[in-house]
Amino acid sequence: METMLYKNVYLNEVSTIAGPYEKKGPLGSYFDKTYDEFYFHKKTWEQAESKLIEESIDLVLRKLNKTRFDIDVHIGGDLLNQIVASNYAASRLKIPFLGIYSACATSMEGMIIGANLVEAKLVKNCLVTTSSHNNAAEKQFRYPVEYGAVKKKTTTFTVTGGTCAYLSREKSMIKIDSATIGTVEDMGEKDVMNMGAVMTPAAASTIYKHLKNTKRDISYYDLILTGDLGMYGEKMLKEFMEVEYRLKLKNYKDAGTMIYDLDNQPVFAGGSGPACAPLVAFSYVLEQMKKKEFKHVLVVATGALFSPTMTNQKLSIPSIAHAISLEVVQ
Amino acid sequence: MTKTGFIPVFLYEITKIFHIKHRGEDMEKNKYKDIVEKYTPKEDRTSHGLKAFLIGGLMGVLGQFLLDLYAYLFHIPTTEAAPFMIITLIFFASLFTALGFFDKWVAWAQAGLIIPITGFAHSMMSAALEYRKEGFVTGIGANMFKLAGTVIIFGVVSAYVFGFIRLILFGG
C-alpha cells in the first residue's frame, strides 16, 4: 500500500535557513535566518552545507526549549556524494542518525520515515533535516562554478538552504494526515538541463495515487505544492495530468517558481534541490496554514535520480516523488 | 499504465521477462515526449550564433592587433610574435576568471569566447580554482584538465589525422 494514514503525528516546529539568492527572492522575509554569501564562515562549500544542517537543528531545539539529548532519532539527507553534509553534521551532533537519499525528494522521504516511526510509537520524536548548496551541487553535478557554462532556458538553479522539522505525538496546529510513497518513473528523458521534464511523470503518478488511495477530490486540497519542476515543468505537469489521468489540477503551485523572482533573478526556469520544497513549505506555506488561509496542503517533493556516470552511459534519468499531506487541526 | 486483475498482470510480467516491448509503452513515451516538446522553450539560435560570430571575430581582430603590436615593438617577425599574443590572451582570460567576472562574459558570448584560446584558459583556471582546497596534487593537479583534457586529446588526434591527410594529398 503506497498511501499511509496517520492518526497522531504532528509537525510541532520547523526551521529554515537560506542563502543569498533566496534572501532576495519573494519569500526572503519568511526564513528564520539568511546568509549574504556562500561560505557561511567555513572553508569550503561542502562544509558550509554541513553547517546549515547543524544550525537548522540548533534553531529548532532552541525554539522548542529542548536539548539534543531529548531527540530520539535524526533523519537527514542531501545532494552531495555519500550524503556528506548530513553525515558530518550528524557526527558532531551524536543523535541516532538515519541517512537517506532520494535527490530532491529527500525531504519528504525523511518526513514519511519519521512520521511512520512516531505513529508506530517506536520513537517519541524525531528531527528531519534536508539541505542543498548551489555551489557544492554545481561542482559535483555540472561544471566548475567559475566556468561560464552555457545553460538552456529550462535549467534549474539549485537552492541554497537547510531545513529542519520536528515531528512528535504532542498536539500542535499542523497535523501530518497522510503520506504517499512514490514509484520510480522513467519516461526516457535524458536532458540534464531539463529536469522539470524528467520529474513530471513521477509527480503526476504520486498525486494521482494519493488522491485515488485517499478517495479525495482534487478540490479537497487548498494547495498542491510540487518540489522543483520549474516554470516549464509546471505546465507539463498540468497537461500530463489531464492527458494521462484525466485530472485537472486545481490550486497547484511549484516551489521552484515561488522561491525566486523568475523575471529579475538569473535562475532560468526556477529553483531546484532537496531544500527547495521544504524551504517553501516550512516558511510561507506553514505561515499561511497558521493563518488558516490553507487548511489542507499536499506537498509533493520531486527528485531526479540523476548520476553523471549513468547519463554518460546514455541511460535516461529516473525520477521519484513522495507526497505528504498536512492539515490544520484545532 | 496501471493494470489490474491477475491474468493481465501475469501476462504483462511474462512479456517483460522476454523484453518484449509493449506498444502502449512506446505510445505513452511518445505522447509524453510531445508534451515535453510543446512546453520546452526554443533556444534562440540565430542571436546566439550572431553574438558568437561578432565576439569571435572581435577576438580575432584583437589577436591580430596584439600580433602586429609585438612585432612592431620588439622588431621581430609575426611568426615569433604569435606566442606573445597567445600568452597575453591566456593571461587575461585566467586573470579575469580568477577575479570572478569572466564566467559571465563567457556565458553571454558563448562560442565567441569558448572557441578562441580564452575558452581553453578559462576552463583550466576555473577547474583549478574549484579544486584548490582539495590539495595541490589530489585537487588542482588531478582536476585542472577536467574540461580541457578532452580538447588536448582530440586536438592532438585530429592534428595527427589531418597532418597525415595533408602528407598523402599534398606531400607535406
Question: What's the half-sphere exposure (Cβ side, CA atoms, 13 Å) at A316?
Answer: 13
Does residue A127 sit in the same domain as residue A208? no
Taking residue B8's Cβ as centre, other Cβ atoms within 10 Å add up to 10
Same domain, A34 and A127: yes
Q: Is A77 helix (H, G, I), strand (E, B) or coil?
A: strand
- Tell me if chain B has a CB within 8 Å of the CB of A151: yes
| SS percent in chain A: helix, strand, coil, step 5 | 40, 25, 35
Q: What is the pLDDT of residue B147?
A: 87
Contact B102, B90 (CB under 8 A): no
Q: How many angstroms away from the CA of B124 is the closest CA of chain A?
A: 9
3-state secondary structure of A179: strand
The minimal CB distance from A150 to the residues B102, B110, B129 is found for: B110
**Other Cβ atoms closer than 10 A to A111:** 28
- Touching A: B residues 43-102, CB under 8 Å: 43, 97-98, 100, 102
Q: Among A168, A191, A223, which residue terminates a domain?
A: A168
Cβ contact B39–A239 (<8 Å): yes
Whether A321 contacts A105, CB under 8 Å: yes
Q: What is the pLDDT of residue A149?
A: 83
**pLDDT score at A327:** 94
Closest-approach residue (CA) in chain B for A148: B103
Asked if A149 and B105 come within 8 Å (Cβ–Cβ), the reply is no
> Does A205 share its domain with A163?
no
The SS3 call for residue A221 is coil
Residue A148, chain B, CB below 8 Å: the answer is yes
Contact check, Cβ <8 Å, B103/A148 = yes
In this prediction the pTM is 0.89
Residues A29 and A104 in one domain: yes
Out of B40, B105, B130, whose CB is closest to A145? B130
Give the separation between CA B61 and CA B63, rounded to whole angstroms.
Answer: 5
Residues A116 and A209 both lie in one domain: no
Provide the shortest C-alpha distance from residue A20 to chain B (in Å).
17
Whether B133 and A139 have beta carbons less than 8 Å apart is answered as no
Chain-chain contact of A240 with B39 (C-beta, under 8 angstroms): no
pLDDT tens string A16-70: 999 999 999 999 999 999 999 999 999 999 999 999 999 999 999 999 999 999 9
Distances from the Cα of A326 to the Cα of A32, A286, A289, angstroms: 21, 9, 9
Whole-number average pLDDT of chain A: 94
Number of domains in chain A: 2
Residue A105 structural domain: 3-168
Give the residues across from A33 on adjacent strands. A17
Nearest to A201 among B32, B43, B98 (CB): B32
pLDDT on residue B31: 85
Total beta-carbon pairs less than 8 A apart between chain A and chain B: 83
Does residue A142 sit in the same domain as residue A278?
no
Report, as ranges of residue numbers, the positions in chain B whose pLDDT lies below 70.
1-4, 15-27
- The answer on A141 and A219 residing in a single domain is no
Q: Which three cell numbers mark A23? A: 534572501
Tell me the β-bridge partners of A73. A126
Q: A275-320, pLDDT tens digit by residue?
A: 999 999 999 999 999 999 999 999 999 999 999 999 999 999 999 9
Is B130 an interface residue toward A (CB < 8 Å)? yes
Nearest Cα to A116, choosing from A9, A1, A2? A9
Whether residue B39 and residue A152 make contact (CB cut-off 8 A), yes or no, is: no
Residue from the list A144, A232, A239 with its beta carbon closest to the beta carbon of B127: A144
Fill in the amino acid letter for B49: G
Helix, strand, or coil here: A75? strand
> Reduced to 3 states, what is the DSSP secondary structure of residue A252?
strand
Share of chain A above pLDDT 90, in %: 91
Percent of chain A whose predicted confidence (pLDDT) is above 70? 100
Q: Give residue-wise pLDDT tens across range A149-159.
A: 888 899 999 99
Q: Is A189 on the interface with B (CB under 8 A)?
A: yes
- Write out pLDDT tens, residues B130-155: 999 999 999 999 999 988 898 899 99
Q: Are residues A164 and A208 in the same domain?
A: no
Same domain, A312 and A178: yes
Q: At what angle do helices B117-131 and B78-99 cross, to 10 degrees?
A: 40
Residue A161 has pLDDT above 80, yes or no: yes
Are the beta carbons of A147 and B31 separated by less than 8 Å?
Answer: no
pLDDT confidence band for A222 (50 / 70 / 90): very high
- Whether A148 and A185 map to the same domain: the answer is no
Would you say residue A185 has pLDDT above 70?
Answer: yes
For residue B85, what are the contacts with CB-CB under 8 A and spacing of at least 6? B63, B66, B67, B70
Chain A residues within 8 A of B114 when measuring between CB atoms:
150
**CA–CA separation, A185 and A320 (whole Å):** 6
Quote the pLDDT of residue B13. 72
Give just the sign of the alpha carbon dihedral A218, A223, A224, A229: positive
Cβ neighbours of B125 in A, within 8 Å: 146
Q: What is the pLDDT of residues A77-106, one digit of tens each?
A: 999 999 999 999 999 999 999 999 999 999
Q: What is the CATH number of the domain that holds A35?
A: 3.40.47.40
Mutation for B interface: A2, A38, A147, most B CBs within 10 A: A147
**Residue-level pLDDT at B55:** 94
Instruction: Enumerate the domain spans of chain B.
Output: 6-39, 45-170
Please tell me whether residues A162 and A178 are part of one structural domain: no
Q: Element (H or E) spanning A101, and its range?
A: none
Question: Hey, what amino acid is at A68?
Answer: R
- Positive or negative, the Cα torsion across B72, B77, B81, B82? positive
pLDDT score recorded for residue B68: 94
| Predicted local distance difference test score (pLDDT) of residue B28 | 74
The grid coordinates listed for B129 are 580554482
**Nearest chain A Cα distance for residue B54, angstroms:** 17
Test A145 with B123 for CB contact under 8 angstroms: no
Of all residues in chain A, the one with the smallest CA distance to B131 is A144
Does residue B31 sit at the A interface (CB-CB below 8 Å)? yes
Same domain (yes/no): A111, A239: no
Q: In terms of Cα–Cα distance, which of A55, A1, A9, A31 is closest to A212?
A: A1
Nearest to A286, CA basis, from A202, A182, A164: A164
Residue A84 contacts B where some CB pair is shorter than 8 Å:
no
Q: Tell me B69's DSSP state.
A: H
